[in-house]
Structure 1
Amino acid sequence: MPMRSMWKGAVSFGLVSIPVNLYVATESRSVTFHQVHAEDGGRVQTKRVCSVDGAEVPYHDIAKGHETADGTVVVLTDEDFATLQVPSTKAVDVLEFVPLEAVDPIYFDKTYFLEPQKGGIKPYLLLRDALHKSGHVAVAKIALRQRESLALLRVHADCLVLSTMLWPDEVRAPDFAFLREDAPPVRDAELAMAGSLIDSMSDEVFDPRQYQDTYRLQLEALIDRKVAGKEAVTPPTADDTGGTVIDLMSALTASIEASRRTREGSGAEPTTAPAAKKAPVAKAAATKAAAKKTPAAKKTPATKAASTKAPATKAAASKKAAATQA
């Protein structure tokens, strides 16, 4: 099915203007449902009824209302909205250029493809190639569906894409008790082991095609069974380990071993914890931790300090480290 443009305008940076068409870049593959009567499958309809006089309201009589803090309802019509001035209605106004890593992904909202209109191909390619070469993204403003948003212009698959962003006051600040309380200390050995686990599960590139929506696949299979007149099959209940208190070092060690077995079983080259290329800091920490735990490094000052901190766990930690390296 061909994509349909949902917005036409121009990308403006400096004195350069690029006429473009905007297309939604993503689509939902979720299985959709309707509300139906369980006895006969009939669709359940929703009527628009006024809460004041109880009458059904036709669509052309419906306006938008905003309820204030004191309960007053302010009614806004299409004429009211037409009086608002939004300068970026038909333009993507570039404000500045920044490195992509300078923008926290929590601000990202929706993504759109940009296609150059006739006569805009050359400046489009110029901006695309300049962004690619600089490694930067463009921060811009755009108005879609009567709402102005911050946006990012970047390059994806040889195409310019626009990602709308949330405004800073739309991102909530985390307010949790544990952030204000004295947290239990994380030991150096635990941090090094966690770094080793990250290294053992690391890849050089991200390939989303290796993952799938297992819930949607099960849901589609269930619908197929119902269409074929078969009953739903209840899977065996998995053991619930939620809330179970476990030894952190044991869990990390077991996780590293499980990750190694998974990589070996899939034919991927196993990644040893100290040899990871992507995280030199974690690599150094893991190497240091290994030096602390191996018998050959028993007499080093680092090992001595670790032993002084946790004499009761020295033997267990050495045993686990040996098992991890084997």
Structure 2
Amino acid sequence: MPRSIWKGAISFGLVTIPVKLFSATEEKDISFRQVHPEDGGRIKYKRVCEKCGKEIPFAEIAKGYELPDGRMVILEKEDFDNLPLSTTKAVEVVQFVAEDEVDPTYFDKTYFLEAEGPGAKPYVLLRDALIKSGRAAVVKVALRSRESLALVRPKDGVLLMHTMLWPDELRDGSFAAPPENVTVSDAEVTMAQSFIDALAGDFHPEEFTDAYREALEAVVQSKADGIPLVEATEEAPKEAEVVDLVAALRASVEAAKKRREEAEKAKAM
């Protein structure tokens, strides 16, 4: 069982729910070391003070905030522990909203909330009330030296908490919009919808794998074993510009239907 990263309580009106917080995700990327290629030795870095030139042990390093006038304010652990903030040990419910009202762009990280001790009954109360109302709770919580908005919602019998970015942390993406004078015909939209319909289905994330990570693991293993890796055949590059969108989409629909039929046959075997 993973270790909890935070303990506190959800304030649900006059009801208090003691909870523990657990990370709901983990990175699966391959981790590399920085090494000297001649002998494989690891590269080490020293933490050196730019003023006195001394190497500073990690335990003696403090956090400093540089003011606009150049002064450095040193903050100790006690300063963070004693912040004048009500959300340091409490998840404060501020609003209830429909889940689809929150743009997924706001989501940062996902956590499991586990009831602690006498919190089981009020935990179930909040979970079931959210399910029946079809809503999620917008909360404020302080985690990892910052306060965040978060969304608490029920899933598979558990309450999940998604921390969110603040509005001023989202960039304006209007620069990426195509020029307004670019238009498409009804026939092109209809054919695009046909392609969407051909690939439509229920989302089953377990059916997808990280092909890049698998290929990288294969390269690492082949080098470790001293066995040459069979090179993958490269597909011929496609034309960057499509003149006839309807013809291209029609061909895409046929290809999608063929892939789906082959996939269904493979499942039936």
TM over 0.5: yes
Q: Give me the TM-score of the superposition, normalised by structure 1.
A: 0.76
Q: Deviations over 1:127-166 (max 9, x none)?
A: 1111111111100011111210000101111101111000
- CA-CA distance at 1:241 after TM superposition: 2.6
Q: Deviations over 1:67-87 (max 9, x none)?
A: 4567x2533321544553121
Hey, what does 1:198 align to over in structure 2? 196
Work out whether residues 96 and 140 of structure 1, in 8 Å CA contact, stay in contact via their aligned partners in 2. Answer: yes
SS in 2 for 1:44: coil
In 2: Cα distance, 1:242 partner to 1:120 partner: 60
In 2: Cα distance, 1:106 partner to 1:174 partner: 11
Change in 2 beyond 3 A, CA 1:122/1:82: closer
SS in 2 for 1:235: coil
Work out whether residues 65 and 73 of structure 1, in 8 Å CA contact, stay in contact via their aligned partners in 2. Answer: no
Q: Give me the TM-score of the superposition, normalised by structure 2.
A: 0.91
In 2: Cα distance, 1:30 partner to 1:222 partner: 14
- CA-CA distance at 1:26 after TM superposition: 0.7
In 2: Cα distance, 1:242 partner to 1:76 partner: 57
Work out whether residues 63 and 75 of structure 1, in 8 Å CA contact, stay in contact via their aligned partners in 2. Answer: no
- CA-CA distance at 1:247 after TM superposition: 2.1
Aligned-partner residue type, residue 235 of structure 1: A
Greater mean alpha carbon deviation, residues 246-255 or residues 132-141: 246-255
Structure number with greater CO (CA < 8 Å, separation at least 6) is: 2
Hey, what does 1:23 align to over in structure 2? 22
Matched, 1:224 2:218: no
Greater mean alpha carbon deviation, residues 206-215 or residues 183-192: 183-192
Change in 2 beyond 3 A, CA 1:3/1:60: closer
Change in 2 beyond 3 A, CA 1:228/1:134: same
Aligned-partner residue type, residue 224 of structure 2: V
Change in 2 beyond 3 A, CA 1:116/1:178: closer
- CA-CA distance at 1:218 after TM superposition: 1.0
Q: Deviations over 1:207-235 (max 9, x none)?
A: 10110000111111122212212234443
SS in 2 for 1:119: helix
Hey, what does 1:303 align to over in structure 2? none
Identity of aligned residues (%): 50
Hey, what does 1:261 align to over in structure 2? 258
In 1: Cα distance, 2:207 partner to 2:149 partner: 32
Hey, what does 2:135 align to over in structure 1? 136
Hey, what does 1:164 align to over in structure 2? 163
In 1: Cα distance, 2:81 partner to 2:256 partner: 58
Work out whether residues 139 and 151 of structure 1, in 8 Å CA contact, stay in contact via their aligned partners in 2. Answer: yes
In 1: Cα distance, 2:31 partner to 2:191 partner: 43
Hey, what does 2:210 align to over in structure 1? 213
SS in 2 for 1:172: coil
- CA-CA distance at 1:62 after TM superposition: 2.1
- CA-CA distance at 1:19 after TM superposition: 0.6
Higher helix residue share: 1
Change in 2 beyond 3 A, CA 1:73/1:38: farther
Hey, what does 2:123 align to over in structure 1? 124
Hey, what does 1:148 align to over in structure 2? 147
Aligned-partner residue type, residue 61 of structure 2: I
Hey, what does 2:2 align to over in structure 1? 3
Structure whose alpha-carbon radius of gyration is higher? 1
- How many residues align? The count is 264
In 2: Cα distance, 1:68 partner to 1:246 partner: 57
Matched, 1:74 2:78: no
In 1: Cα distance, 2:158 partner to 2:200 partner: 28
Hey, what does 1:248 align to over in structure 2? 245
In 1: Cα distance, 2:181 partner to 2:53 partner: 56
What is the alpha-carbon root mean square deviation over aligned residues? 2.0
